[in-house]
Amino acid sequence: MSGSAFKRVSALLIAAAVLLMPGCVTAPDGEKTSRQENASFAAVSDAESKQPEYRSEPEPSVPEETTPEISEPEIAKYEFDPHLYVSLLADDIPMDYWEAFYNLCDALRAGETSFACKSEEAYNWATSPVTLNELFPAACTKITGKSGDGTKPYENGAGRIYYLIPTDEYVERQAKFEAFVEEVLNTCLEPDDGDFEKCLKLYDYMESNYSYDYDFAEEMPDGANYLTIMTKKGQCIELSSVYAYFLLQSGVEAIGVGCTNDKIAHAWNYLVIDGTGYFSDPTWALKSESGRDELDLYYFLMDGARRSESGCDVGDDMTAPLLPRYWFSSSNTRISADSDEFCFPSGAALVSLDEGSKTVHYLSEATEYELSYAE
Task: With CA atoms as reference, report the closest residue to 312 among 267, 353, 348.
Answer: 267
Q: How far apart are CA 313 and CA 263, in angstroms?
A: 10
Sign of CA dihedral 326, 337, 332, 136: positive
Q: How far apart are CA 52 and CA 74, in angstroms?
A: 65
Q: Are 115 and 161 in contact (CB under 8 A)?
A: yes
Element (H, E) at 238: helix 236-250
Half-sphere exposure of 343 (CA within 13 A, CB side): 16
**pTM of the model as a whole:** 0.81
Q: Are 338 and 304 in contact (CB under 8 A)?
A: yes
Domain locations along the chain: 3-19+189-344, 87-169
Task: With CA atoms as reference, report the closest residue to 133 among 300, 265, 233, 12.
Answer: 12
Q: How far apart are CA 285 and CA 210, in angstroms?
A: 10
Q: What is the DSSP string of 331-362?
A: SS--------TTPPPTT-EEEEEETTTTEEEE
Q: How far apart are CA 335 and CA 89, in angstroms?
A: 10
Q: How far is CA 345 from CA 195, 237, 365, in A?
A: 21, 25, 10
pLDDT in tens, the chain (375 residues): 544 444 333 443 444 344 333 333 333 333 333 333 333 333 333 433 333 343 444 454 545 555 556 566 667 799 999 999 999 999 999 999 999 999 999 999 999 999 999 999 999 999 999 999 999 999 999 999 999 899 999 999 999 999 999 999 999 999 999 999 999 999 999 999 999 999 999 999 999 999 999 988 766 667 899 999 999 999 999 999 999 999 999 999 999 999 998 889 999 999 999 999 999 999 999 999 988 899 999 999 999 999 999 999 898 889 999 998 899 999 999 999 999 999 999 999 999 999 999 999 999 999 999 999 997
Q: Count Cβ neighbours within 10 Å for each residue of 242-256 and write b for 16 or more, e otherwise.
A: bbbbbbbbbebbbbb
Sign of CA dihedral 199, 207, 84, 87: positive
Pick the CATH number of 3-19+189-344 from 1.10.10, 3.10.620, 3.40.50, 2.60.120: 3.10.620
